Structure 1
């Protein structure tokens, strides 16, 4: 089970506003899919602007071959000299297994001050990098080594910064298993350098560990410093989204769509079998968009009845997922209900997926598939005004008619497509739909359970809310 990443967090909960949007009419059939758009607005509400550095533990891991030492020669010492006072940090270098190269000796962690920064920067000049002979078994070894260090440092924010040129040996069959163990223990940003890395495992690391994966051609030191600065803007390291569902709901899933696409792992609670907890991390002031999907059975319920299928809870804020059974003249056996904002969420996800699939197909020399996928991405980008997607497409194709989805591929060097695939899968995006936030609702007078502001009946005991 995923554990809380923080042993102590900031004392105040951020101001949260929660809004749920969906199409309220469902045909009563088996396998009815309900899709709801959740928008969460978070305000710091007077909390300090930056998280104190003493509450951060950061590992900088360098998975780079000796032949590419120039890529990190100046960047790593500069980033270490820029560390804030009192941050806990460690530096890992490369060997047959990841090697802790700073701090040296028995101490696993260093706490930054002027002297520690100077020592770390000096040691970074002789950082062990990959040479001939055995190498770590892919990124799973880096994740495992970081987990062993970070789980012993019980601070609010625990984070891995992995710098890689793809020089680790093959062995990614263990990556998914290792990421299951790492989820909830720490978060991760990946910086890819050089040209010999594969984007898929880097995107898997970023998605499962709630970070980003990006290609860095220049300014690696600034990228590392910027990642640490972002960590200090975290107001709440972990803030679970809880979903309580009716017994008729058989499947529950939650995906973050903006600002960063992530699939979230839900944890059913043993004492409350109908309540699911979806851990989320690194909450800053701003807006997040989620897609909640429920699969429910109605067994041809003849009553056109308004029902609450779920309660979404974030801290002390709650909002119901309410829909009405409606019997159309003809209904398909498998249906989906969702509002306009849900369709926009799905279309935006399709745009990112089409862009990524098109670039991967182009990399694999499947030009017909690439042209079709990139055309679909262009059409959706015009619909949503997503200029960066159009700019990515122009890097590999002529856009003849974006609204119609017509593009014409140009000759490209397929070795240059890796950074574009990373951006398609990990680039942050802004809020998707303008929505009005809901206020915290009442509590049931019978059992005391919290209810959403629009709820009519308690989801626990069924009593009418007055």
Structure 2
């Protein structure tokens, strides 16, 4: 997703919080919270529309035409000038609805928007007959259209009622081929879609999946407006590790929960590159996990296990091996934030598992998982999770994880599962229970209330 004209680069501040010093082991896990603050630094408020190419794909059955009859023309009429766009309709295979003929792309202006909105009124949709090709066919068609398009942002908006999901067999294979080619937002309409493949699409293609009951046209327009706030479409996070580190993984926690795919660098066995997308102004949180062997390392000595690089910004991951019977010489500054990252991920997972169990008529499992999610939500102060649980259960004691299932509207479970798996999150709250006293302004090491100089770097404490 590159461009011949490089967009302005954001200002980046990177901070690393370690989850704790590990005990010596052949497969010790080291976790670090990467907090990235992004500022536009003089870049324009909106990315020029000429730098965007968007495909709007309508994967719905003829019986659901009412869901898109007014929304699609409305969204097309709201396209910004000079954006490249195409509209796909459905049959046994995706078909290009607009533009027609030899040209693969339309460039929005008053006349193009008017013609596209007119054609959208007769958009071909699934009818009775051959089974639709499945989500893999939609992303494959988008990949073929977007390949080589010389713009900064390439994006698919997929509107689906689930009618093409039956018999899906090659989605994972096609998503592997689409990695790095474009991003995707999924809007589910109707009531017959299955959440899991939609969440897979959103996670693997770095977007979101949400249910839209009303206001589909506004949702499409809002998604395109968000794309215009992207100042850096693709910015890899590079992790260079010491030889004792055997495994590296990186997960984005906010604003969107995604597990990132790491790419080893040829000829550099200790460097990994994790592509990330759609960088806007604001804050991002990542959890970096390293698995390391302690065989050849000294104990109780600060060691650099990794260097994290984002653009021209670098930060080390420093820890020390300490024996189980000994307390670490100092409490790592980021322990609480790493715990909160893990707890938030577990809370989302439990909420999704509980709702899925309800959908599958397994009430005992549903009550257990929702109770655990409520307990974590109460500890983390995550009100939206408690509100979701109250939709299907009475919360008797959130802190104790006690819930009692109530009457459940089966039609509400799918949208709730999508929100549990794809709802954008906000920044983590500041860690509670932090060690009191001054903190080094240079390296961030905490100190006792009487300290005057940093024990780690020797700098005078402020």
Q: Normalising to structure 2: TM-score of the pair? A: 0.90
TM-aligned CA deviation for residue 179 of structure 1: 0.6
Which of 368, 373, 380 aligns to 2:376? It is 380
TM-aligned CA deviation for residue 325 of structure 1: 1.6
TM-aligned CA deviation for residue 305 of structure 1: 1.5
Q: Is the 8 A contact 2:299 2:320 kept in 1?
A: no
Give the structure 2 partner of residue 218 of structure 1: 214
* Whole-Å separation in 1 of the counterparts to 2:231 and 2:135: 29
TM-aligned CA deviation for residue 430 of structure 1: 0.3
Which of 226, 231, 234 aligns to 1:230? It is 226
* Whole-Å separation in 2 of the counterparts to 1:370 and 1:438: 47
Measured at CA, do residues 114 and 217 of structure 1 come closer, stay the same or move farther in structure 2, by a change above 3 Å? same
Measured at CA, do residues 379 and 320 of structure 1 come closer, stay the same or move farther in structure 2, by a change above 3 Å? same
Mapping 1:24-173, distance limit 5 Å: 24-168=20-164, 170-173=166-169
TM-aligned CA deviation for residue 154 of structure 1: 2.1
Q: Is the 8 A contact 1:16 1:317 kept in 2?
A: yes
Measured at CA, do residues 313 and 208 of structure 1 come closer, stay the same or move farther in structure 2, by a change above 3 Å? same
* Whole-Å separation in 2 of the counterparts to 1:124 and 1:190: 19
TM-aligned CA deviation for residue 413 of structure 1: 2.9
Is 1:329–2:325 an aligned residue pair? yes
Aligned residues: 434
Is 1:273–2:269 an aligned residue pair? yes
Q: Is the 8 A contact 2:132 2:163 kept in 1?
A: no
TM-aligned CA deviation for residue 328 of structure 1: 2.7
Measured at CA, do residues 398 and 117 of structure 1 come closer, stay the same or move farther in structure 2, by a change above 3 Å? same
Q: Is the 8 A contact 1:18 1:439 kept in 2?
A: no
Is 1:418–2:442 an aligned residue pair? no
> 2:169 aligns to what SS in structure 1?
helix
Give the structure 2 partner of residue 445 of structure 1: none
Q: Normalising to structure 1: TM-score of the pair? A: 0.90
* Whole-Å separation in 1 of the counterparts to 2:418 and 2:19: 34
* Structural RMSD (CA): 2.1
> 2:101 aligns to what SS in structure 1?
coil
Give the gaps of 5 or more residues in structure 2. 328-332, 432-438, 444-455, 458-462
Q: Is the 8 A contact 2:8 2:231 kept in 1?
A: no
Structure 1 window deviating more from structure 2 (376-385 vs 279-288): it is: 376-385
Which of 12, 16, 41 aligns to 2:12? It is 16
Give the structure 2 partner of residue 447 of structure 1: none
TM-aligned CA deviation for residue 153 of structure 1: 1.4
Query: C-alpha deviations, 1:135-154, integer Å up to 9, x for none?
Result: 33211110101000011312
TM-aligned CA deviation for residue 414 of structure 1: 2.3
Measured at CA, do residues 384 and 237 of structure 1 come closer, stay the same or move farther in structure 2, by a change above 3 Å? same
> 2:176 aligns to what SS in structure 1?
helix
TM-aligned CA deviation for residue 10 of structure 1: 4.1
> 1:72 aligns to what SS in structure 2?
helix
Give the structure 2 partner of residue 444 of structure 1: none
Measured at CA, do residues 439 and 263 of structure 1 come closer, stay the same or move farther in structure 2, by a change above 3 Å? farther
Give the structure 1 partner of residue 302 of structure 2: 306
Measured at CA, do residues 44 and 338 of structure 1 come closer, stay the same or move farther in structure 2, by a change above 3 Å? closer
* Whole-Å separation in 2 of the counterparts to 1:188 and 1:11: 21
Structure 1 window deviating more from structure 2 (152-161 vs 309-318): it is: 152-161
Measured at CA, do residues 110 and 399 of structure 1 come closer, stay the same or move farther in structure 2, by a change above 3 Å? same
Measured at CA, do residues 54 and 384 of structure 1 come closer, stay the same or move farther in structure 2, by a change above 3 Å? same
* Whole-Å separation in 2 of the counterparts to 1:439 and 1:49: 33
Higher relative contact order (CA 8 A, sep 6+): 1
Q: Is the 8 A contact 1:140 1:171 kept in 2?
A: no
* Whole-Å separation in 2 of the counterparts to 1:110 and 1:439: 53
Which of 166, 170, 186 aligns to 1:174? It is 170
TM-aligned CA deviation for residue 219 of structure 1: 0.3
Give the structure 1 partner of residue 391 of structure 2: 395
* Whole-Å separation in 2 of the counterparts to 1:148 and 1:437: 53
Query: C-alpha deviations, 1:277-323, integer Å up to 9, x for none?
Result: 00000000000000000000012745322100000000010000000
> 1:381 aligns to what SS in structure 2?
helix
* Whole-Å separation in 1 of the counterparts to 2:254 and 2:354: 21
Give the structure 2 partner of residue 294 of structure 1: 290
Mapping 1:358-373, distance limit 5 Å: 358-373=354-369
Query: C-alpha deviations, 1:184-234, integer Å up to 9, x for none?
Result: 000000000000000000000000101000000000000000000000000
Give the structure 2 partner of residue 183 of structure 1: 179
Q: Is the 8 A contact 2:186 2:209 kept in 1?
A: yes
Q: Is the 8 A contact 2:7 2:232 kept in 1?
A: no
Give the structure 1 partner of residue 404 of structure 2: 408
* Whole-Å separation in 2 of the counterparts to 1:380 and 1:318: 33
